[in-house]
Structure 1
């Protein structure tokens, strides 16, 4: 493996770059607090470990090279992001109709069990992660060398950096939660994140299929 420190630096830029993972982590931290955000981050990291395993086994390369498989994964991911966005906006509409705040809090706690799944599926169904692993990782492997160990190290490093950033981000959002927990602020942010999720889904859906 070559230029490991450069790899780490590049990973940091990729990790902090706004995307579907950040959008869903923001939404869930706002709606369920620190616990919801951390569950989402755990789901994202578990999905990254699967992407790492797929890259090591060569499955990601097959997906990237197959126009059909890539398109299927792309559209499934796009539909899921749109679904999350619509669900967020719909829950915002329903929230405005709620009259009992205690009942609302009870429902939010009950729904917290799905936050891990949302983070997991948002990352797992994003074909751009597979592309990142298959195009970015090889740049740091010596020509002709075995890719198993380098890919394992890079995948674990990327996942660790994602975990660290996600935890810091969740705690930051939670720290300023006093402001964000104001009903008007929360409604505005949930509306924005719901729209962003739909936007990411539409962008993914409308992108040209990989050839």
Structure 2
């Protein structure tokens, strides 16, 4: 393994770039608070660990090289993102929720936030492409990739978790500040449209 610190630096820049993960974490933090945001981040990080394991075992290479499998993951992921976006927009019509209902459903919401974060990441074939094109750049040619891939995958996951810890905390403060219904509706509506946009973009993505 070589240039580990360069790998860390580049990973930080890649992690903070806006994408579907950021969109879903924003939505769940604004809707369900810090707990919903953290559960979403946990789902995202769990999916990243699975992508790392898949890259080590060579499964990601099979998905990327198979046009059929790539398309299956791509379209399922795209449909899921569009579904979440539409669901967010439709939820703007249902604002008559009492406090008791929100309290009794808090555990379900946390499970839902984890599932949304997990599925948004695991169903994105571009993540598999990322691991297979980005990680090998920091491994010596001809050397064993098992150890270095695991180290880089765990490092990338840890950096992702740290970023979302900071991001969710910041968004939670913004959520506490933005109490006005019109402001909240605007944010949720914008987030829903962004997720639909990411879903359409993913559906149009072609394997390299």
TM range (shorter): over 0.9
Q: How far apart are residue 136 of structure 1 and its match?
A: 0.3
SS for the counterpart of 2:2 is coil
What is the TM-score normalised by the length of structure 1? 0.94
1:7 corresponding residue in structure 2: 7
1:86 corresponding residue in structure 2: 86
Which of 161, 171, 191 is the aligned partner of 1:163? 161
Q: In 2, distance between residues paired with 1:193 and 1:200?
A: 10
2:54 corresponding residue in structure 1: 54
1:102 corresponding residue in structure 2: 99
1:42 corresponding residue in structure 2: 42
SS for the counterpart of 1:207 is coil
1:145 corresponding residue in structure 2: 143
The answer to whether the 8 A contact 1:23-1:196 is kept is yes
Q: In 2, distance between residues paired with 1:53 and 1:69?
A: 18
Residues 120-158 of structure 1: CA deviation (Å, up to 9, x unaligned): 000000111100000000000000001000000000010
The answer to whether the 8 A contact 1:55-1:133 is kept is yes
Residues 84-111 of structure 1: CA deviation (Å, up to 9, x unaligned): 101111111222xx2x542563476243
What is the TM-score normalised by the length of structure 2? 0.95
Q: CA RMSD in A?
A: 1.4
Which of 176, 179, 182 is the aligned partner of 1:184? 182
What does 1:23-34 correspond to in 2, within 5 Å? Answer: 23-34=23-34
Residues 18-59 of structure 1: CA deviation (Å, up to 9, x unaligned): 000000000000000000000000000000000000000000
Which of 198, 205, 208 is the aligned partner of 1:207? 205
The answer to whether the 8 A contact 2:36-2:109 is kept is no
Task: Tell me the number of residue pairs that the alignment of Structure 1 and Structure 2 aligns.
Answer: 207
Q: How far apart are residue 184 of structure 1 and its match?
A: 1.6
Q: In 2, distance between residues paired with 1:92 and 1:74?
A: 28
Q: Structure 1: give runs of 5+ residues left out of the alignment.
A: none
